[in-house]
Structure 1
Amino acid sequence: MARSPSPPGDLFGAPAPGPALAGSGRASAARGKLRPLADRLRPATLGDVTGQDHLLGPQGTLTRMLERGSLSSLILWGPPGVGKTTIARLIAERAGLVFSQISAVFSGVADLKRVFEEAARRNRTGDATLLFVDEIHRFNRAQQDAFLPVVEEGIVTLIGATTENPSFALNGALLSRCQVLVLKRLDDAALGQLLDRAEAEIGRALPLTGEARATLAAMSDGDGRYLLNMAEQLFSLPDETEALDPTGLADLLSKRAALYDKDREEHYNLISALHKAMRGSDPDAALYWFARMLGGGEDPRYIARRILRFAAEDIGMADPQALLVTETAWTTYERLGSPEGELALAQAVVYLATAPKSNAVYKAFGAAKRAAKATGSLMPPAHILNAPTKLMRDLGYGEDYAYDHDQEEAFSGRNYFPDGMSREQFYNPAERGFEREIAKRLDYWAKLRLQRERERGE
């Protein structure tokens, strides 16, 4: 079968042999040194790819799939700079497929039609095609549907790459025909391997202290391509440059902006992390996620809305002040703006994280809504209905109503549920915070209610 060509792409492994160049060996060497470092370090085999052992290790999903000869259409989901394009190219080479690539950013229906026709022509001559679609999530639903027949008929083996959650970005019909493989953000060990390979390729060490080397890896935020681009800048410094410390490194290089898109999944991931850190009573983690969202450009008002909801949903009557504190923090932000007002929101985050937690009101309200839906249009009991007309009085409206303030303990113990509906207990206060006191009150009133019912002979 035809083999895929060796085009420029992304990285992450040992140097790959480049194509033969015209001219002398010296010219070839000089030409090779002009290639970007990331391109020079592109892996030659799948085993050279770093940071994805769960897919490419001895027991990895892709390894076993290729060993069985059962390559299916795939969606590679992962952050930028982890090797999605490289993996697709190497899969094509390993499986003996012709590699064809398009980008959803620059391609339309006409481009898809041309690619499909070329793949069908190859198929008729016995050559199979691996079609790699970069940023496949950028195709609309109709364009995604165009892949269905060529995948089903085996005209192409599709590998789509996406940085977005496929559950939201791709339609169900396409997802059902592909296996989703998750590529991980490169960890410190994988980033360290890339730096080691870069130093071996250049033939000298990076001009960094050990601490600065760790800082360089942190600055890349798990993006191997970005890491090697920064390393290439450092290698361009004069050979006699003294080792840079973290401060010197920061002065020389710009930190990679943290991944955050206010309209996409990362937005929801981080607000979920903030919410759950507060629920888990971890103020330090909550502050971290709060800072991450602000650093990514999130509107502080959105955060204020979410933590106000948290105060009602996750704290409730365990600390009734939580709502007031959070609302006041929001008002303070509105008056001061950023960045000064962000401190008030940070204070609210810490207050909520350290407050006693209870979702008893949240659960009680849900139960009450279900009961209200199930019971339909039951009328309130007659004794609590107002009776402004004679007819209403004749019908028993307001009869025997007991004004609670006039009763002993300011408690009548009367039934306030509809006639024909048994009493239900929706609200079960937690034994935490202020709700511990509420539970005592409810127990006391329950005993009084039984006593009043006996007195009335009910």
Structure 2
Amino acid sequence: MADLFDTGAGSGEPPAAAVPLAEQLRPTDLSEIIGQEHLTGPEGAIGRMVAAGRLSSLILWGPPGTGKTSIARLLAGAVGYRFVAISAVFSGVADLKKVFAEAEVHARTGQRTLLFVDEIHRFNRSQQDGFLPYVESGAVTLVGATTENPSFELNAALLSRAQVLVLHRLDEAALTTLLARAEEVEGRALPLTDDARAALVTTADGDGRFLLNQAEMLFAAGIETPLDTAALRDLIQRRLPVYDKDREGHYGLISALHKSIRGSDPQAALYYLGRMLTAGEEPLYLLRRLTRAAVEDIGLADPQALVQCMAAKDTYDFLGSPEGELAIVQACLYLATAPKSNALYTAQKEAWKSAKAHGSLSPPKHILGAPTRLMRDLGYGKGYQYDHDAPDAFSGASYWPEEMAPETYYRPTDRGFEKRLAERLAWWDEQRQRQQEGS
């Protein structure tokens, strides 16, 4: 049977025709779970727990429609635990107190309770803390389900008492198996061509529940002639990609975009840019990150990188979406294909560190302005050499505080425009050395 979200059937048995397809395909054994064999197999964490007959508290982290609820329910049955399920969306403190009190009563009779908490990340920090004494005492074995990164959304204390297991999005093979099981239950094939069938799997984006809902709609539509891909696209809705602009998916994709640019892979960078824009990300947020990449990862290896980003920002402000998004694409591709250097970024960190370490040293007097007689009498501006009057517009004078030896922060690479800068800096260093030797 398929691996699907467990909606929790009522006490009555509805007619077979009224039972949703996802409910009919609910797995009845852990071996029927699709796509999570790394956890449920003999060598997986869940498989080992079942073999030992004892569970530890778990956090099941994975995308929607991958079987978190089904796994929890089947786990309880596999080891003989009492199963209780609540949702953090609909439950409050009073509900939790009732669950814990009942679990303690059953614990005194030797009956362990598996408490499944769906959307556990929606409980606030103090509510999460409320689980701790009952988990520690063994009154409940907690199995929480979340689509969000537990390290961001759950208390450290709760995480330390539970093992985090990662569920995978269902791949093409798993989803194809799921469709075959749906056809077996219905006793007929989906009214689709082979290409349309493959397209249907793609629309699910790894979500088994969504795929079965689409299949159920197709079975109920009374279609006589198999649909091709175009006809299927007109009939069904594509599942929107999982993307929350303030959560882990958001930060993961922006990191992937930035690192693809740094790694000079324009194709991957364009893919992640497309992922974010089509999911509704704010274009100006992306432009800000592109501009950061321009100065952090390219800098003076190609000074035009920053110009491209600012031009893209102005163009998007002028045109808006979707036309202005082409300017964002141009900036992204320019950055990904530009020569790379973090010399500017490194120089800034070293210079800031040095500035904090050396405190409030005064610049040498010869480069200080002297607007008053007192300042002139103290030597301010005395001996200053105007570089434009020197040969090659270079005096070779020292501009460092007298109490501080010159330091080197900026070390240009031999890539792009920085190669020319490196040659220029080397020539100036040579001239300074000659002047010091001649003085």
TM-score class, shorter-chain normalisation, is over 0.9
The 3-state SS of whatever aligns with 1:417 is coil
Q: 1:67 is matched with which residue? A: 51
Say if 1:137 and 1:169, in contact at 8 Å, map to a contact too. Answer: yes
Asked if 1:119 is matched to 2:109, the reply is no
Task: Give matches, 1:408-427, under 5 Å.
Answer: 408-427=391-410
Partner amino acid for 1:217?
A: V
Whole-Å separation in 2 of the counterparts to 1:148 and 1:445: 66
Q: Secondary structure at the match of 1:191?
A: helix
Matches within 5 A, 1:204-353: 204-238=188-222, 241-353=224-336
Question: Are the equivalent residues in 1 in contact too, given 2:3–2:67 (CA < 8 A)?
Answer: no
Q: Is the 8 A contact 2:295 2:306 kept in 1?
A: yes
Q: Which of 348, 358, 378 in structure 2 is aligned with 1:375?
A: 358
Q: What one-letter code is carried by the residue in structure 1 that aligns with 2:234?
A: D
Whether contact under 8 Å (2:3, 2:208) holds in the other structure is no
Determine the structure 2 residue equivalent to 1:84.
68
Q: CA 1:132–1:20 in structure 2 vs 1: closer, same or farther (change >3 Å)?
A: closer
Q: Distance in 2 between matches of 1:22 and 1:144?
A: 34
Contact preservation (8 Å) 1:137, 1:164: yes
For 2:163, the equivalent position in structure 1 comes to 179
Q: Which residue matches 2:130? A: 146
1:298 aligned partner, one-letter code? E
TM-score of the superposed pair, with normalisation by structure 1: 0.92
Q: Distance in 2 between matches of 1:76 and 1:143?
A: 19
The residue aligned with 1:12 is: 2
Distance 1:383 1:70 in 2: 79
Task: Select 1:58's aligned residue among 18, 42, 53.
Answer: 42
Alignment partners' CA distance in 2, 1:187 and 1:434: 45
Find the aligned partners of 2:157 and 2:409 in 1 and give their Cα distance: 42
Shift of 1:405: 1.1
Greater shift, 109-118 or 397-406, is seen at 397-406
Within 1, Cα distance between the matches of 2:428 and 2:202? 59
Deviation (angstroms), 1:69? 3.6
What is the alpha-carbon distance in structure 2 between the residues aligned to residue 373 and residue 210 of structure 1? 67
Q: Distance in 2 between matches of 1:21 and 1:300?
A: 50
Matched to 1:365, the amino acid is Q
Selected match of 2:94 from 104, 107, 110: 110
Q: Which amino acid aligns with 2:40?
A: L
Q: Structure 2 regions of 5+ residues with no counterpart?
A: none
Partner of residue 403 from structure 1, selected from 363, 367, 386: 386
1:137·1:170 contact (CA, 8 Å) conserved in 2? yes
SS of alignment partner, residue 160 of structure 1 = strand
Report the counterpart of residue 112 of structure 2 in structure 1.
128
- Conserved in 2, the CA contact under 8 Å of 1:325 and 1:348? yes
8 Å Cα contact 1:13/1:44 also seen in 2: no
Shift of 1:20: 12
The separation in 2 between residues aligned to 1:135 and 1:377, in whole angstroms, is 54
Query: Alpha-carbon deviation of 1:399?
Result: 2.3
After TM superposition, the structure 1 stretch with the greater mean CA deviation from structure 2, 78-87 or 64-73, is: 64-73
Instruction: Find out whether 1:157 has 2:141 as its counterpart.
Output: yes
SS at match of 1:327: helix
| 1:22 positional shift | 8.8
Question: Which residue does 1:27 correspond to in 2?
Answer: none
CA distance in 2, matches of 1:305, 1:125: 60
C-alpha deviation, 1:285, in angstroms: 1.7
**Partner residue, 2:121:** 137
RMSD between aligned residues? 2.0
Contact 2:366/2:384 (CA < 8 Å) preserved in 1? yes
**Shift of the alpha carbon at 1:381?**
1.6
Aligned pair partner of 1:201 in 176, 185, 198: 185
Give secondary structure in 1 for the equivalent of 2:312: helix
Contact 2:262/2:297, CA 8 A, preserved across alignment = yes
Counterpart of 1:193 in structure 2: which amino acid?
T
Match of 1:392 among 355, 370, 375: 375
- C-alpha distance in 2, partners of 1:22/1:49? 25
Deviates more, 1:126-135 or 1:257-266: 257-266
CA change 1:288–1:207 in 2 (3 A) is same
Q: Check whether the contact 2:3–2:66 (CA below 8 A) recurs between aligned residues.
A: no
**Structure 1 regions of 5+ residues with no counterpart?**
1-10, 24-29
Q: Residues of 1 paired with 2:378 and 2:166: CA distance? A: 69
1:71 Cα deviation from its structure 2 partner: 1.6
CA distance in 2, matches of 1:13, 1:107: 25
> What is the percent sequence identity of the aligned residues?
60
Question: 1:416 aligns to what SS in structure 2?
Answer: coil
- Distance in 2 between the 1:420 and 1:224 partners? 69
TM-score in terms of structure 2 length: 0.96
- Per the alignment, in what secondary structure is the counterpart of residue 15 of structure 2? helix
**8 Å contact kept, 1:72–1:157:** yes
CA distance in structure 2 between the partners assigned to 1:198 and 1:13 by the alignment? 12
Q: Which amino acid aligns with 2:155?
A: N
Q: Tell me: CA distance 1:19–1:148, structure 2 relative to 1, closer, same or farther (3 Å).
A: closer
- Counterpart secondary structure, 2:382: coil
Q: Secondary structure of the equivalent of 1:62?
A: helix
Partner of 1:345, secondary structure, is helix
State the alpha-carbon separation in 2 of the partners of residues 312 and 21 from structure 1: 63
> Residues 332 and 344 of structure 1 are in contact (CA less than 8 Å); yes or no, is this contact kept in structure 2?
yes
